[in-house]
Each structure stands twice: as structure tokens, then as C-alpha cells.
Structure 1
Amino acid sequence: MAVHRMILCDLPNELLLMVLEYLSSSAIATLARVCWHLHDLVNTDSLWSRLCRQEFGVESLVQWNVSSFQELYSRVLFPYRYLLGVWEGDLKYYGELMEARVDNGRILGQLWRASSSQNIDLPLYAEPLFAVEVSDKEVRTVCLYRDMKGKRATLKKCHSGSTELLEVQFKVMYDFTKTKVDSVSLRSWVREEYPPAFADIWENHGFLRQAFTNRYKSLQFRQQLVQYRPVALPPSLSSDFPLKPGIYKGTYSSHGIELILVTMEGSIVKGQKLTGDPNIPASKVTFQGLLQCPIPPDQYSSWGAAIFNHRQMLSEIRNQVDREEQEHSRRTNVESRQLTVTMLNSVPLQEHPFSVSLGFSGDLQTYPNVSLARFPSSGQVAGDGYVNPQWSLNQLVLFPSGNFAIVWMELRSVSFYCKAQEL
């Protein structure tokens, strides 16, 4: 008996389209080169509508200025997909945080900024940087930043070793170091952004004057070319432990609020600056804590109080961190996450009263009055220009909300950190 062999193209188009819905865009493009029948079928816009929706969350062509989902996918979304995500800008000392996302008929690159005041409850605000959009059938990249708005921008992928970089270049150039600042505008900005306690004294205080001027210049003027490194956001952990990995806002005295990437690997919690200051610049580690070694509650007030013990205690913390990091490098990501969750679930948590100790200064008017645990920590300090960086003894204080504080024992100050909900 003769065996009838059916080939793929013998299937009705309705069934073929159902099969194609399981394929990726690269597989669909390959299939289109098999024969004219499949080539024509691949041009069915419902296929590309699915890809736009599944990969980029785009469900409508409204505002996109294109005629089909296939055109949108092939000319805009797929070629510029490398932009999407969170990036760390390489601006001397200060850095900046940029996010690119699909937004209202364009790919929008925007800078996330924290308020220059010490009010950490204020949300981050977004400042548009560039947009990839379709105009008169041309895909173009335009600048949206302040007085450069409307100028052409160039986006370029490059590499530094194994790290993929993004270069954003504008046609207008400012020399940050030589740009003159209008004193009237600077005074107005300081009074808008900073509390009266700073706004009334900064002009007669050399350090504050320089810090505020540099901060103002970094916001108002841009270099012609800025490089961005991708920020690898840590995966969520399936644990009830209040502290979660992610991007946090942190208070840093006269430097204002800075953005910190908090990661948790094994028993180590690490804070790396995404935005920084001339003392500890962006990309540097600001603190590291050990979560498997909580400080006994009866030692809260005495732990780290004796200055002569600081070097020995710091050495023990640093050695433990080094050992943990070496062990982590030998594990797979899955093993590391499982170990981290197991360790976090075993940490004893119990409510205890909290207040800022006498003689310590803090940036908040009021702090949580209850903490769950305290952990040994080390924090990085340095002179202006990141001169002579050293590690300082700290306590990491965990609050029920998942927010936390770093008590700088030698500096006798308290920094407060809360999750940035916008990212």
C-alpha cells in the first residue's frame, strides 16, 4: 500500500500559522527563505503582532507611525532591543542611572534622579535623555535633554573586554570642567533642592560650595560622549527575609541621596554605588555586611564602641567576606541562590527598640523605632577625589519594612536606605 507523505506546505494556512506561533523571530525569518509559499505566509501580520506583544509588551500600533507590526518589529523593536534595560553612566565621580524602555510609540531613554534634598520619601523623578522614533518613515534617534532637545543623537554598541557598553553621543558639546555657572541660577537651584540649613550657609563653606557647584554642573551640562555599562539587576529571592536585593536610595549627608545596587550572595549583602560623590564615586562598593553573624541584642550598644578593637573587628569581617566570595565563585547561580535563601531563612529576627545613639548624627528627622536585627558590616570611606580609601567598622540595622540603616561607628553617623519603587 502506497504511503502518502505530507509536507509542511500541504497543511492549511490556518494550521501553518498555529505552528508558526511557536517559533522565534529568527526561526520565522529562516523559514521565509524555504519557499515562496512560506515567505508569503510569514508576512501575515498576526505573527508579528504576537512577537511585539510577547517580547516588548506592544499591543497597538497607535503612536508608532508604522503601517504594520512586521515593520515595527523589523525596523525598530528588534534592531534596538539592546537598548532596553538599566544602564550606569560613566560621569566622573557622580555617575548616573539611565533606563531605556518602550514608551508611547518610541523607545525612550531616561535618567532616574533622586531629589537633592534629604527627604528620602520623595520618589525618583525621570528626566528624558533620548528617543528612538519613526518620523516620516525614517527611524531616528533624537536628544530630549534640556537645552539640547531636538538635536540628533548617536547610539553605538562597543566592548571593554567582555563587557558590552553603550555610547550615547550628542552633537552639542560641553566641557564640564570649564563650563561657567551662573551664580544666580545656582543660588536658586540650591534653595529649591536643599533644606534651609544648607541653603543659608553653603556659600561661606568651601566644601559645600564646591560640592553643590559640581552637582549642579553635572545635572545642567553634559559631556559630548557618555559611556554606559549595563546594570545586572539581581534576581528576586523566594524568602520571607525583609531585606531584598535591588536598587535602593541612600542618604549620604551633604552629598544628598544616592542610588545603590544591593546584592545578596550567600551571607554577604553588598551595596555598590550607581550614583556617587567625590569621596566614594559611582561604581565603588559603599558597604558589605555579614548576615549569618547577627550581633547579639545585649551587645547592640557596646559592639564596635571601643575604638582600639576596630582594626581587629574589621580584619575579621574582611577575611570572612573574602572567604565567602571565593566560595561563591565556585558555585553555580542556582546553587548560590539556594544557599542564600537557606541562610536567610535561618537568620533569627526579633523586634527590638531602635534610636540613633547619643553623639551620632543622622540625615532623617525621624527613624523607625523598631529594628529586627543588626549585623556586622564594613563601609568604605575616602578623601575628596577618592584619595586613600579605607574600610570603616559599621553596623547594618534591619527594619521590619525591609529598609535598613548603616551606623558608621568611626564617623558617628547614620545612613538610611529604602527601596526605589520606580525600578
Structure 2
Amino acid sequence: MKHSLIVILAIFMSATAFAQKPIPPQPGKQHTNFWIQSKNYYLLTLFEQDKNVSQLLKSDTLLSRFAKQKIADLKSSVKDCKDAACYPEALKFTEGEIQQVGLRLKTLYQSNNALGLMVKNKLVPSGCYSMYHLNGSELLMKAWEEDAGAVNYTIAVYAEGKKPNYPTIDSISYNVKSKGYVNLIYDASAILENEIQPDALFFEPALQAALTYLQINQRADPANYEPMESTVNKLAVDLIKTVKWANYPYTHIMVPGAGPGDLVTALSGEGMLRCRLAAKQYRLGVAPFIMVSGGKAHPFKTKYCEAEEMKRFLVNELDIPAKAVIMEPHARHTTTNLRNGLRLVYKYGIPANKPGLIITDKSQTDYIMTMDGRSRKELGYVPYKLGKRLADTEVEYYAVPEVKQIDPDEPLDPR
């Protein structure tokens, strides 16, 4: 998308239009898995929850046959597989299957049928696939391809042990060559065989496998603290409704986290110093909120969340009101600190046409000023627009609509 169009959209689209509202949980849906699934595989979640679409897909002869074949593949793996790699491989989608299903979805799509109405009323407004700038059946196909690829990626990393983008913090928790792992992965497939219903939708065996593998790796990161607007961010969300934004040059102060180097330290020295810089500017009236960003990332399998620990430090040690601190507890990298913070700008109704102010140490500010290339490489786009650098430790940034795009190869922080 051209820069001019991005600016126009950012200014003239209301925060409500871009509000990223979660799909309501279904009765009996496990809460943790609901958040993990809907954040990672949004189209597949819509397929399940839209009853008319679900019925359309189940009644289609080709897709029904596809579903039966995937269930048969699962059953065969439980019966015949002898090594750990065999079980997950049987569940992934092949390139041919992804293409075949995509073409079938395109054929089934009509602008006024269940699929067409779902695309128009749910898929497009979600912004989850907005980077592709497609509509109608083309968007449906692309969203399917992305979700299927995301399922495959999750299985590859958290069952097969393939290296993720950031192996030091996001790798599988097991030795995939050990005898014990063969038994574990067999048990996972056997339980899936028992749980998958005969009338399952065509993608559900693979989807449920991906969720199971994340679960046994204790990787529930996308679900942490959700729904945040009624938990950790409730006080701030309530306050947002009353703020007179014209009284402030910035809507919020963004503080990126810095993970400690060991498993027993809750908050790093860098994190403390960044909070002190932000607290000073907050007291000067620069912005009504401090947004702290960072998940449970560093070191590997840490129990401490950077955002939570920074909020605790701001409130308990620096006397910042709890209602003035917004937690963004999912980002795992500097690129996603900014991306996820801007997602909350849209989600919580903060004016998107006003800048935020990033406050961090000089070395990270230097890095942020040159981070566009990394963002394009890892995310496929730049999820922010930088403004002026005001000081060694301060730089303005602006929202762009593409921030809601799902990241299909980051299952621990997809959106």
C-alpha cells in the first residue's frame, strides 16, 4: 500500500472501525485454547463458529471427503508409525492439499451466501489479513493458505523440533530423538484420534494437533492475561473513556521490555532504568498513559513477564497510578513491542491520528531508528511509522492499519 493511503486511513478511520474484538467463546470451549486458536488461526476459528459456514463446508462432497481422509491419516499414524517424526507429518497439510482446498473454497464462495457474508462481515473487518489488500474469494483463499501454513509451522516447530525464528527463546521443550518423546508424541496422536469427531471439519485434525503440541510444550503465551480489557488493563481502559486527548502531545509512552539473563531475576536493570525515564516524562504531562511491552520471552521458558514486572515497578517503586499503566504482555521482540502497542491503540479506542512516544535507552533507540528492514524481513511490512527523534532516549511513532495482520510464523505472538 502506498504511504499516502496509509496516512489517509490512519487519520480518517475511526478507532471503532479498527477495534479488534475477539470472537466470543463457545460453550465448552477451553478458554486458553480459544485465545491461542483465534489469535493464530482466525479464519479456521470463523469456520467453526459460524454455523451456516460450518454446515456449508461439512455438506460439500469434496471437503467432506478431504476430512475423512485426514481422519484416516491420523488413525493410520497411530497404528503404523514407529518414530516420532511420523506422527506429526501425517497430520500436516501438503502443498497440494492446501491448493486443492483453496480452489474449492473459491468455487463455493458467493457474495451473498454464508461464505460471502462471513468474508464481508467478519473476515475483512477483522484486519487479520489486511496486508494482502484482497477482497472476496481471493481474500478467502489467501486467508486459508496463511492459516494452513501457520498450522503446519506450529506442528513443525512444536512437534518435529524444527528451528523457529528465534531458537534461543521459542524452541521445542523436548529432545525429539529421545525414546520418551516417541511415547509422548504417540500418546498425543492417540488422544487426538479418540477426540476428533467423525463429522469434523476438513482442517480440524491438523488444527487440534497444532493446539495439542503447543499445550504439551507449555506454550500458552497468546492466552496470557486475556481478556486484558477486563483483567490487567481494566483500570486503564475505563480511564481511556474519560481522557481529554487535546491536553497531551502524545497518547502514551511506550516502554519496550528487556529480559534478564537468568531465570530468577524478575526485572532487568535495563527495564528499571527505562521505567524511570518514562515515569519522569509521565509526571511532566507528556502523555496520560505509560504502556509497558514485553512477554515471557527471555530467557528460555522464563516465568516472568517483562510487561507485568515493569508495571509492578512503576506502581510500587515509582508511584505511578496503576490506572495509568497499560500492559502489553505478549511481544517477544523489539519489532513486536511497537506493533503490539499500536494494536492496543486501535483496540482500546486511543486516537490513532496522534503519536505515541517511545522511551528507552539510547542503544535501543538507535536500533529502533534502523529497524524497518528487520520488520519487513520478519513481519512482511513495517507495523509503525516513526516520527521525530526528540532525544537520545525518545522517538515519536504513529499507528498504521496493518498492525492487525496475523504473523503466521510466530505462534507465541501472532496478533
TM-score by length of 2: 0.29
Whichever of the two has the greater Rg, that structure is 1
Structure with greater proportional helix content: 2
**Larger RCO, structure (CA 8 Å, separation 6 or more):** 2
TM-score by length of 1: 0.29
Structure with greater proportional strand content: 1
